Amino acid sequence: MTKTRRLFGTDGIRGKANTDPMTAGIALRLGQAAGLLFTRGAHRHKVVIGKDTRLSGYLIEPALTAGFISAGMDVTLSGPLPTPAVAMLTRSLRADLGVMISASHNAYEDNGIKLFGPDGNKLSDERELEIEALMDSDFSDRLAAPAELGRASRLEDAAGRYIEAVKASFPRGLRLDGLKIVVDCANGAAYRVAPSVLWELGANVVAVGVNPDGFNINRGCGSTVPDYLCSQVVQHGAHIGIALDGDADRLIVADENGDVVDGDQILALIARSWIATGRLRGGGVVATVMSNLGLERLMEDFGLALHRTQVGDRYVAERMRETGANLGGEQSGHVIMSDFATTGDGLLAALQVLAVMVESGRPASEVCRVFQSLPQLLKNVRFAGASPLSHPTVKKAIAAATARLAGTGRVLIRESGTEPLVRVMAEGENEAVVAEVVDGLCAQIAAVERGKV
């Protein structure tokens, strides 16, 4: 029987700040439990803790710190820093654990905790379940004795280390001289490092979303509000715009015309570049079930595979390790390049896009349109109680919709991992048929939910 995950979701623990499960008490106990599980051997054990810019970071950070110190772990604090930077530092400092305090693209009211193992990879479902189980037990007799408590210190050059690592990923000999780039940092974790990287590589940088106040993270800006980026690109006459989310692990691009380029196109652009230079490994690219069918067909044209996995960049990373692929990501803009990082990194991905622009001498509008996207439509249906997907009428409707799109598209029905929602997605060559399929399935699911079937 599968164990139920009470605290951990698809990307760590997340919730409204100062309410269960994002309380100081739970953060303290999480630090103790994770600290005990990752304390092995006779060396001094270390955890790296980073955060984004939301106000509640001041609540969660000291609580986690106290928990790890209580378990006998030394704590290294980085301050506001992107999620991929914390993963990088965990490996480079030979820490036993890494922690990022962030709710990613959510509003400031929420916060979250993401955990990385010593290899810089996000913890598996099994490890998270181990932590939950220990948190529910009495481990007081295992905590550190007074003389064995950990210590806390701040890593003053954390941002500089990350900046240099990101710059090292840019092809040697290339510069961004002459490019005007709008970078939207979402008033989040990359508000200092992202403009610095682009500036030091020679770009004319227009930095927006770089004035965090604890409340404005992701508010009207960032990768989940691409219209703002597009307007800024047009207003400033920039060659390209890049938008990150609150913890900078995802990227959305706007070309010089102010048109949005999503994660699927970014994946395709990097894949095509790496294929041309013989750098792409693993026989293809890893993406999720949400990625556009056009991307899959492009990979087939290259004689390669699009390995699909469930939604969540953690699952993308796991599948990349299984297949030996060095490129994977999500339509939402998470792009993982295992040659450079263990998790999604919006800034690293942006540099790969910029490198292609520089090398080709072509504008973003040409470079970033790699394949023809098929019409895709996603709608949500809220439900209460048992899932309507198990109802025979819904199953029959899904089978009929799948048959209707066979050979020209596909249907994807799934339950949200965080809300009582059924997500209904279809894509195909005919936009009108796609809309009919999605609307019909939503109506059928809603009817079952209302008890009319």
> In order of start, what are the domains of the chain with their CATH numbers?
8-158 (3.40.120.10), 174-260 (3.40.120.10), 262-367 (3.40.120.10), 376-449 (3.30.310.50)
Rounded to 5 degrees, what angle do the CA atoms 267, 304, 375 make?
Answer: 55
Query: Distance (Å, rounded) from C-alpha 323 to C-alpha 299?
Result: 15
Instruction: Please report the pLDDT score of residue 1 as a whole number.
Output: 34
Q: How many CB atoms lie within 10 A of CB 58?
A: 11
**Catalytic residue set:** 104
Q: What's the pLDDT score for residue 453?
A: 62
Reported pTM? 0.91
What is the structure's pLDDT at 420?
84
pLDDT at 415: 86
What's the pLDDT score for residue 387?
A: 85
Report, as ranges of residue numbers, the positions in the chain whose pLDDT lies below 70: 1-5, 417-418, 452-453
pLDDT number for residue 41? 78
Q: For position 418, what pLDDT does the model report?
A: 64
At 417 the pLDDT is 67
The predicted structure's pLDDT at residue 57? 98
Reduced to 3 states (helix: H, G, I; strand: E, B; else coil), residue 239 is coil
Model pLDDT, residue 316: 95
